[in-house]
Amino acid sequence: MEKRRIGSLEVSVVGLGCLDFGPRIDEARAAEVVHAALDAGINFFDTADIYGMGQSEEYLGRALAGRRADAIIATKFGTQLDDERQGAHPDYIRRAVEDSLRRLRTDHIDLYQLHIPDPEVPIEETLGALDELVRAGKVREIGCSNLSAAQLREADKHSTGTGKARFVSVQNEYSLLHREPEADVLPECERLGIAFIPYWPLASGLLTGKYHRGEPAPAGTRLATASGRFAEFLSDENLARVEALRDFAEARNRSLLDLAFSWLLSSPAVASVIAGASKPEQIRSNAAATGWRLSPDELGEIDKIVSPAR
């Protein structure tokens, strides 16, 4: 498995998103998926305290018993858990990290990420608290999620030249069907030397090849009972794009899944593509989907199917 860097961390280009641990799969199945990931050469595991209200971290921590040294653990804080546990104030960060360390059964978190911006707390205060955690050895690197290019610049301004920890990564939505980061966030990442981690890289499963225009969503899939924005993934326009992308891949003896992963990894700023998996065979398919080096001509053809962000 190829590896790329997130700050000082060396991560597999395919990661495992652990959002489903708890809400969709139980602890035994989660452990099977984690072990299948490690056996496939995947070392990057992304979770958050909000996933399953702590269950995801607990399941991941127990699954990694005896294999912690083989894993790079990324987790997040800041999304509201209850009236007291939320935000990015230094006092809460100190509490949140201890809670996550306990649930993960580890003495350090490899990548600790601000999950969402907190408009009530100046970013320099958040960065100061995170720097304390790095200096204390509880966190190796710090990152963020759902920040704009302007917010990344503001954060970097308070870290550059100070000797303090800086955000080494940003995790935002990005896929063949959602190319918004190309407009400003990805160029800013390249300028600042920040790794980009795409979430929902398979558009909630739409880019796995399971969904077809004119057919109901397969029973048991994520989008079968989706509502709101997720249901919009199944629009005729999106399904037509998916069909065109599938035809493009199959004409080259590749799968739609191969295309979804390999296209994201064609961006030098992208460090690891984190996709969820509820079964070991899914994680093995994800791990095998990265070997396609798309040519400039192929990338140009893809742009005609799904327009780049402006």
In this structure, how many other beta carbons lie within 10 angstroms of the beta carbon of residue 249? Answer: 21
CA 231 – CA 114 distance, rounded (Å): 27
At residue 210, the pLDDT reads 75
How is residue 3 written in tokens?
A: 């590896």
- Pick 249 or 211 by higher pLDDT: 249
51 is catalytic: yes
At residue 38, the pLDDT reads 98
> Active site residue: 51, 112, 174, 211, which one?
51
Question: pTM to 2 decimals?
Answer: 0.93
The domain limits of the chain are 3-204+255-294
At residue 250, the pLDDT reads 96
Query: If you classify domain 3-204+255-294 with CATH, what class do you get?
Result: alpha beta
Q: How large is the average pLDDT for residues 191-209? A: 93
How is residue 83 written in tokens?
A: 């009236």
pLDDT tens digits, one per residue of 114-161 = 999 999 999 999 999 999 999 999 999 999 999 999 999 999 999 988
